[in-house]
């Protein structure tokens, strides 16, 4: 099997936003459990936000590398190649490594009912977790794909730091029609006792995030304050 065939098979898994039976984290959690929960074995920075999350993820990635840490980066979407989604110390996952990971995962998928199979994005996320663990990274940086609460990256239980860069109107069909609703979705990456850095400057969106941080006893730091 080559890279093109692997990608074709993964993209056939499709999305889950328009499939109510698959809209949630149950499928990815089930498979990660079968794989030994690789997401629990690497510390992660977790970044969400309407704007700036990709560049923030890259900045953090660069700073961690400069600090001497072997650092994984998982981003979405990719610009030129799907392989851009998964990298370590600014080196993209090699095509042969990607194919090898998918070949390893396929037997697990064959044991699942169709509605139990992780989506395309969830599969890329699982592959990132496996790759970072296999390559022995010191730390990883995860960028959410959409929102936060039900994003595949939100299976991590306690990030080193959560980052919410910004909250503005985007993907209202899935995240809500008000800034409070959108902020609620993004604030759900905040975990108990895990610090959160917030780029939101004020208003209802900030209050939602602060309330979530307080509810989780999570230290919070607001940009510019």
Is residue 49 within 8 A of residue 57, CB to CB? The reply is no
Q: Average pLDDT, stretch 197-219? A: 91
Is residue 179 within 8 A of residue 203, CB to CB? The reply is yes
Q: Which domains are delineated in the chain?
A: 3-222 (3.40.1190.10)
Percent of the chain with pLDDT over 90: 68
Alpha carbon 32 to chain centroid, angstroms: 14
pLDDT digits (tens, 9 = 90+) for 150-197: 899 999 999 999 999 987 666 555 565 688 888 888 999 999 999 999
Q: What share of the chain is helix, strand, coil (3-state, %, to 5)?
A: 45, 15, 40
Query: Residue 49's closest CA among 200, 216, 156, 222?
Result: 200
Alpha carbon 205 to chain centroid, angstroms: 21
pLDDT digits (tens, 9 = 90+) for 50-93: 888 899 999 999 999 999 999 999 998 777 899 999 999 999 99
143-160 as b/e, with b when 16 or more CB fall inside 10 Å? bbbbbbbbbbbbbbeebb
pTM listed for this prediction:
0.92
DSSP string, 149-207: TT-GGGG-SS-SEEEE----S--HHHH-SSHHHHHHHHHTT--TT--EEE---SHHHHH
DSSP string, 61-78: HHHHHHTT--EEEE-SS-
């Amino acid at each position: 099997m080559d890279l093109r065939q692997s990608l074709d098979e993964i993209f056939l898994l499709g999305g889950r936003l328009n499939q109510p039976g698959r809209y949630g984290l149950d499928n990815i959690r089930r498979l990660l459990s079968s794989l030994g929960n690789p997401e629990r074995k690497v510390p992660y920075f977790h970044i969400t936000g309407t704007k700036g999350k990709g560049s923030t993820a890259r900045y953090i990635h660069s700073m961690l590398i400069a600090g001497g840490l072997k650092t994984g980066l998982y981003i979405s979407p990719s610009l030129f190649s799907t392989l851009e989604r998964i990298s370590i110390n600014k080196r993209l996952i090699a095509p042969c490594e990607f194919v090898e990971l998918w070949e390893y995962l396929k037997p697990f998928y064959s044991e699942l009912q169709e509605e139990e199979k992780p989506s395309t994005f969830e599969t890329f996320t699982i592959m990132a977790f496996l790759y970072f663990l296999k390559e022995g990274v010191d730390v990883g940086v995860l960028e959410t794909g959409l929102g936060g609460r039900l994003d595949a990256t939100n299976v991590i239980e306690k990030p080193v730091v959560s980052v919410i860069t910004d909250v503005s109107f985007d993907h209202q069909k899935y995240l809500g029609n008000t800034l409070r609703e959108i902020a609620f979705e993004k604030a759900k990456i905040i975990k108990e006792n895990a610090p959160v850095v917030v780029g939101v400057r004020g208003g209802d969106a900030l209050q939602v995030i602060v309330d979530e941080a307080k509810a989780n006893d999570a230290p919070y730091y607001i940009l510019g304050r």
